[in-house]
Structure 1
Amino acid sequence: MKFTHLGRTGLTVSRLCLGTMNFGPHTEEAEAHTIMDTAHDLGINFFDTANVYGWGENKGRTETIIGNWFARGGGRREKTVIATKLYGDMGEWPNEGKLSALNIRRAVDASLRRLQTDHIDLYQMHHIDRATPWEEIWQAMEVLVAQGKIIYVGSSNFAGWHIAQAQEAARARHFLGLTSEQSLYNLMERSVELEVIPAAEHYGLGLIPWSPLHGGLLGGVLRKEREGVRRLNDHAVGRLEDKREQLAAYEDYAAELGHEPGDIALAWLLSRPAVTAPIVGPRTLEQLHAAVRAIDLTLDQKVLDRLDEIFPGRRPAPEAYAW
């Protein structure tokens, strides 16, 4: 495994982040524990979750599975940089979601109980809260840092100007502010190249891309379709039909290079500016082992240029849409 710092911080994390969203809904607890143990064996020390994972009536289930794994000891907690998120509603009453100071206080304590730990290494805002002022958010986060309940703060699904707002408000309070941004980013979805990545680079945030294979479409979906081993939901089928020509060219090029399409997609992300660690969310051990192959795959400029031809990217704003 290779390691890097999370943005401008001194925190060392693996170049792949283990996503746990499947734990509970698709992966039973025993197998989830095996996957996390194997991730440690492979050198992955960076795990990502959220308080809403488990979904529906089972919200919080994923954090509970991780907490039960930590409780088994053996240095599991000490070896793990654990990131979780808040924002989504955890109940039906007011103040059980979003980013009010009240919900931040309640949400962190609930996550700590489920995770069976005394602190969260990276506490991420899952979405921007347009109704809560940054003064309130940062005051609440400062209290959690002072109490030792969290160490770093991150964002997820923020626009570039949200990052700027947050950082300038934190600067005025002499607070570290955001250390990372978790965004949808992959070969097929490159909108963050307009403003989010430039903002992350300017403010020293580590970018943590989610859905690096775009819901499986970049993982050899056409070949799997031919082999009858891949079933997509209706939404994914629609995206597949819209991009079938591009995906065919991509899979043909991957075959020409002698690599799996998913390996190339992850290796491409690892080559991008500001990217700290793509989130891989395996349902099985096999998927975890497959993801790790990308760590040792280096793409030369010729390959990067061809990938840009197949999946054109975005120039930074305003050059993308002005002179």
Structure 2
Amino acid sequence: MHKTLRPLSTLSSHASTTSRLASLQHHISPLSSSAAPKMPLIPSTMSSNKPRVILGLMTFGPPGTESKGGRITKLDDYNKCLDYLQQQGYNEVDTARAYIGGQQEGFTAQAKWQDRGLTLATKCYPVNPGDHSPEKLRASLEKSLQELGTKCVDIFYLHAPDRSVPFEKTMEACNELFKEGKFVKLGLSNFAAWEVSECWNIANERGWVKPSIYQAMYNAITRDIEKELIPCCRK
């Protein structure tokens, strides 16, 4: 189970592809840019007891991708899963450029996620050193947008830290992409607490888009993030 944590005292959950998992989400501050694209965005559940559920798409892929992690590989079955998710009142999905060998996002486009009114997050994983350089980060996000058939996603995550590139360069690149309207909110995943703090402070000091969402492995057994990362996000 993944848990999406938000700095500024915000918590939410990320469900696996085979189960529906939930926790409370709290409200986060609104976007500072009035020019930001209007997307479905993340619903606030501060005043509601309804749990927040996100469908992770890591094992949804087109036919022939079983060796790349595909478990649900028929478009009809994928649509049935999305139908069920939405019938329960949930509309959030989470994908990544790296999922299913780079084929997941295109499969989600085939399922017409935008026509469904889904909120979507994608990510850029640094497979190789330098993947979070300004040029490669841009190329990754633009490829994601092309595959998804959209000009903007609701959430764009740095899937893990690329320590071969100074965080300042990566955060500046994210800010440029944000100003161009390619994503609405910036998130971090698999960063250490000190790295979250450094990225946030760099962006805050320079007036750049700040990471406001964190996604981590967190469940009843895996609780390491309670020591440093959750307190860091709450600050």
TM-score (normalised: structure 1)? 0.54
2:99 paired with 1:53: yes
Which residue in the other structure is 1:190 paired with?
Answer: 223
CA distance in 2, matches of 1:121, 1:154: 10
2:106 matched to which residue of 1?
64
- Which residue of structure 2 lines up, in the alignment, with residue 80 of structure 1? 118
Task: Provide Cα deviations, 1:267-298, integer angstroms capped at 9, x if missing partner.
Answer: xxxxxxxxxxxxxxxxxxxxxxxxxxxxxxxx
Shift of residue 98 of structure 1? 2.5
Write the distance in 1 (CA, Å) between the matches of 2:215 and 2:28. 12
Q: Secondary structure at the match of 2:60?
A: coil
Letter of the 1:83 partner, please give it. Answer: A
State the match for 2:196 in structure 1: 163
**Letter of the aligned partner of 2:234 in structure 1?**
E
Q: Secondary structure at the match of 2:199?
A: helix
Alpha-carbon shift at residue 8 of structure 1 (Å):
3.9
Q: What is the DSSP-based 3-state SS (H/G/I as helix, E as strand, rest coil) of the residue aligned with 1:85? A: strand
* Structural mapping, 1:27-176, within 5 Å: 27-28=72-73, 29-54=75-100, 59-70=101-112, 75-76=115-116, 79-89=117-127, 98-176=131-209
How much is the aligned-residue C-alpha RMSD, in angstroms? 2.2
Q: Is the 8 A contact 1:6 1:180 kept in 2?
A: no
Does the 8 Å contact 1:4/1:12 carry over to 2?
Answer: no
Instruction: Give structure 1 stretches of 5+ with no counterpart.
Output: 203-323
Structure 2: which amino acid aligns with 1:105?
A: R
2:175 maps to amino acid: E
Higher relative contact order (CA 8 A, sep 6+): 2
Compare 62-71 and 189-198 and name the one that shifted more.
62-71
CA distance in 2 between counterparts of 1:15 and 1:119 reads: 22
Q: Which amino acid aligns with 1:46?
A: E
**Amino acid of the structure 2 residue aligned with 1:65:** F
Higher helix proportion: 1
Superposition deviation, residue 4 in structure 1 = 4.2
1:37 maps to a residue whose letter is D
After superposition, the Cα gap between the structure-2 partners of 1:5 and 1:120, relative to the gap in structure 1 and judged at 3 Å, is farther
**In structure 2, C-alpha distance between the alignment counterparts of 1:114 and 1:148, rounded to whole Å:** 17
The one-letter amino acid paired with 2:222 is E
Within a 5 Å distance, the mapping from 1:240-319 to structure 2 comes to none
Query: What amino acid is the match of 1:113?
Result: Q
Displacement of 1:3: 7.7
| Aligned equivalents of 2:233, 2:23: Cα separation in 1 | 21
Report the Cα distance in structure 2 between the residues aligned to 1:3 and 1:70, rounded to whole angstroms: 28
Q: Percent identity?
A: 29
Q: Structure 1 pair 201/187, CA: closer, same or farther in 2 (3 Å)?
A: same
Q: Quick check: which has more Rg, 1 or 2?
A: 1
Q: Deviation at 1:161?
A: 0.6
Give, in angstroms, the shift of residue 46 of structure 1: 1.5
Q: CA deviation at 1:67?
A: 0.9
Change (3 A) 1:169 1:82: same
What is the rounded CA distance, in whole Å, between the counterparts of 2:124 and 2:152 in structure 1?
Answer: 15
Q: How much has 1:12 moved relative to structure 2? A: 3.1
Q: Is the 8 A contact 1:67 1:114 kept in 2?
A: yes
Q: Which residue matches 1:21?
A: 58
Q: Return the letter of the residue paired with 2:123.
A: K
- Which position in structure 2 is the counterpart of 1:283? none
* Counterpart secondary structure, 1:12: coil
Q: Give 1:136 shift.
A: 1.1
Which SS does the other structure have where 2:156 is aligned? strand
Any gaps of 5 or more consecutive residues in structure 2?
1-21, 32-40, 44-50, 62-69
Cα gap change, 1:5/1:69 in structure 2, threshold over 3 Å: closer, same or farther? farther
What's the CA shift for 1:2?
A: 9.2
Could you tell me how far apart the structure 1 residues matched to 2:195 and 2:23 are?
Answer: 31
SS of the residue corresponding to residue 222 of structure 2 reads coil
CA contact (8 A) 2:174 2:209 kept: no
